[in-house]
Structure 1
Amino acid sequence: MDPECAKKVRLMDLEFRVLHNKLFEDRFFQKIAASQNSELKELNKNQPLVIMIIGSVKEIMPSTIGTYVGMDRSSLSRMVDSLEEKGFVRRKNDPEDRRKVLISLTEKGERCYDFLNRKSEEMAAEILGLVEEQDLRDFEKGLETMLRVLRKIDSAMESRK
């Protein structure tokens, strides 16, 4: 790869991450902090994201959560322990492989997920409503392209192991 192209890709990726964090993640956490939802007040900064991940797939292995949020095994274990103690999640053995543990949301966790999901949808509509329809389609197409390329890279790297 051309070094100038590689440099440009790295800089655009960095700017994308910064803007995404500023426009979506920071704003999302501000909305959560400002909400009057007492259950949300029990959560630390990373826990709402973990609840969103679990809620979107219903059951998930802790190692998969760790991959998604970039946490090591011990930090993730402490977080899941904390969420379990607070009544947001439950652990159960995978019926297909008793060595594996699956994490799912409790009723309290589901309520929290519903609230977070609603806030996330409202915020996305608000932010994405600031651009024209064609820009939104271009953005969607760009994200699809980014994901396709990143999946190829991930697959190629996994095959090297």
Structure 2
Amino acid sequence: MRKEETVDYHIKVVWHAISRMYNQGGAMKGITASSGFVLLNIDQDEGTPATKIAPLLGMESRSLTRMLKTMEETGLIYRERDTEDKRSVRIYLTEAGKKQRDFSRKAVIFFNDKVREAVSPKKLEAFFDVMTTIDNVIEENKNLDQKIQLIENE
């Protein structure tokens, strides 16, 4: 099977193009695509538990920890102990973080509007259905990495 015939090849190529686009646009504002997505997933009023952010973005918690540290150092977020559950930490946006979040939101809306202008609603619906199915395949095969290792040993 050629790489152009694989599902993951197309997803990866397009995701890298999207990420590059957001990184280039965010560079002038001092944020990355990843930090922009983190900002978009922090509740502006209530904050968000740190443990909830990684699953929302499909990230490893180690990667998120490093990113949150950088975002805190650059003044986009701050952390506070949860008033109800002292074991939990909530992430809040600073004023600078709120401005960057607004910029990120506008960038995402702009890009999605452009895609919706170019792709019919029927095709978008089919795309979302396919992506949901792919995600379900991944979820149903959580031990896929172990299965791949077994294939390698055959």
Tell whether the 8 Å contact from 2:47 to 2:92 is kept in structure 1 after alignment.
Answer: yes
Q: Larger relative contact order (C-alpha < 8 A, sep ≥ 6)?
A: 1
- Residues 18, 60 of structure 1: CA spacing in aligned structure 2 closer, same or farther, 3 A cutoff? farther
User: Aligned equivalents of 1:21 and 1:128: distance in 2?
Assistant: 20
TM superposition shift of 1:45: 6.0
Q: Find 1:145's aligned residue among 121, 125, 133.
A: 133
Work out the percentage of aligned pairs sharing the same amino acid.
23
- Residues 96, 150 of structure 1: CA spacing in aligned structure 2 closer, same or farther, 3 A cutoff? farther
TM superposition shift of 1:78: 4.3
Tell whether the 8 Å contact from 2:75 to 2:97 is kept in structure 1 after alignment.
Answer: yes
Tell whether the 8 Å contact from 1:59 to 1:102 is kept in structure 2 after alignment.
Answer: yes
User: Aligned equivalents of 1:52 and 1:117: distance in 2?
Assistant: 7
TM superposition shift of 1:15: 2.3
The alignment status of 1:88 with 2:76, answered yes or no, reads yes
User: Aligned equivalents of 1:101 and 1:138: distance in 2?
Assistant: 39
Greater Cα offset, 58-67 or 141-150: 58-67
The alignment status of 1:17 with 2:17, answered yes or no, reads no
Once the two structures are superposed, what CA deviation does each residue of 1:49-85 show, in whole Å capped at 9, x if it has no partner? 322333589403157438733362xx64443233223
How many residues align? The count is: 141
The alignment status of 1:108 with 2:96, answered yes or no, reads yes
SS in 2 for 1:99: coil
Unaligned runs of 5+ in 1: none
